[in-house]
Structure 1
């Protein structure tokens, strides 16, 4: 189990993948052929859920399907794991998430997270976005963790892959092998920035590995055969002297 640092979250929330019922559900999902088989057999794409989950305002049942265009609301102690196309998601408790349609019902073009948190693994594909009240992330094939804090500040971790971040005219490209983390600020910091460096908090390697396994993928550190330095800077090694992308002086970043 990798070390994890919590800020406003509990161990139970980040260790959800250890739950016996969740492991059994994931094993059954993979054994039954994953998303292609679910489509062919007209089965649900919900891998697991706990507690009260509303789908488009109605209480959800385990045999329902989450499609692009749907809105998901999870209550206290609730969570939902589902797959759409080649992407897998875990929606944590007290979250409100809408899923916008891509080219078909089984592709995602936009996740709009208004409250709470979502762990996401995206396979390679067309343009996908994650939007929060204070940040927009353009997704390529990658794994990410997104959380909207109570004050609407956004925490965003590019766990691996390449992401284009933008908010209120500020833009940067994040390329990460191992957890490169950011804040989408409500107000500019003293340097006038609205995208600032963050540490790695509130999520684990194992969560990303779990979701990647649902879509027959591996994380960057699984492929490399080792874990990196989980300091929020996105490197496998300590990389002394290398600044976090959100800490590079604006004049040097042009």
Structure 2
């Protein structure tokens, strides 16, 4: 049993490092074959006519059961069920939607994603650079997250939300109390927060621990966008499982 555990851990560490290499487009033939072994497919920028990198279980896009061939539009309702997961790209953004989650994507006239309403569940997003007046806002049951070129992990529940600015800048506001506001600047999961549905005015945003997500996922999604992850791939983290 111990050798199996060690093999699994080594495989995940290999996956994490190879994803980072893929993100900057420098895979050797050896790394290519190792990555295929570790993940089953190579994380690379999605081609034209592609949206979904990984689909597990039953996932619906605009009410229809999705397959790996499904194109996810910039305006879409996406639902996952028990033990299901979707990793996908829409335009310049990449998302990971976990089990028992529902998100509504919205877009502008140019089909640039402008919003993600997380009605329930868990969503990780890596956002590409916005130009000029292009903006994106992610909302949960209790929080509004103004995106400024960043990566965010969010969990949406009735009584509170969890928001981690994995890196970058966000403006975080409690939905029902605009005086509960924080401008967050994060280099590496520096300022995770709970955002409460109820409580003292101006104090609905509370410090939180880092929960239920890891750098392997961020590196994977950066690779899908053709971007290098803005942190070292060689740091030793314990939260290296794609499934939480």
Residues 36-56 of structure 1: per-residue CA shift (max 9 Å, x gap):
xx22xxx22111100000111
**Aligned counterpart in structure 2 of residue 118 of structure 1, from 123, 129, 154:** 123
Aligned to 1:188, what secondary structure does the other structure show?
Answer: coil
Residues in 1 aligned to 2:236 and 2:139: alpha-carbon distance in whole angstroms: 28
The question of 1:218 aligning with 2:228 is answered: yes
Residues 74-115 of structure 1: per-residue CA shift (max 9 Å, x gap):
00000101111121111000000011013423x210000011
Structure 1: stretches of 5+ with no match in the other structure: 1-14, 231-254
Aligned to 1:178, what secondary structure does the other structure show?
Answer: coil
**Aligned counterpart in structure 2 of residue 174 of structure 1, from 166, 184, 187:** 184
* Aligned residue runs from structure 1 range 118-197, under 5 A: 118-125=123-130, 126-149=134-157, 151-167=158-174, 168-169=177-178, 170-179=180-189, 180-189=191-200, 192-197=202-207
Structure 2 length normalisation: TM-score?
0.74
Residues in 1 aligned to 2:236 and 2:151: alpha-carbon distance in whole angstroms: 15
Structure 1 length normalisation: TM-score?
0.72
Residues 174-232 of structure 1: per-residue CA shift (max 9 Å, x gap):
0001112011101125x751111111111111111111111111233239x7589x9xx
1:133 Cα deviation from its structure 2 partner: 1.1
Tell me if the contact between 1:136 and 1:166 (Cα under 8 Å) persists in the aligned partners: yes
Aligned to 2:129, what secondary structure does the other structure show?
Answer: coil
Q: How many pairs were matched up?
A: 200
Tell me if the contact between 1:22 and 1:48 (Cα under 8 Å) persists in the aligned partners: no
Tell me if the contact between 1:178 and 1:227 (Cα under 8 Å) persists in the aligned partners: no
Aligned to 1:141, what secondary structure does the other structure show?
Answer: strand
Greater Cα shift, 74-83 or 53-62:
53-62
Structure 2: stretches of 5+ with no match in the other structure: 1-12, 17-34, 240-244
Aligned counterpart, 1:57: 63
Q: Which has the higher contact order (CA 8 A, sep 6+)?
A: 2
Tell me if the contact between 1:143 and 1:219 (Cα under 8 Å) persists in the aligned partners: no
Tell me if the contact between 1:102 and 1:108 (Cα under 8 Å) persists in the aligned partners: yes
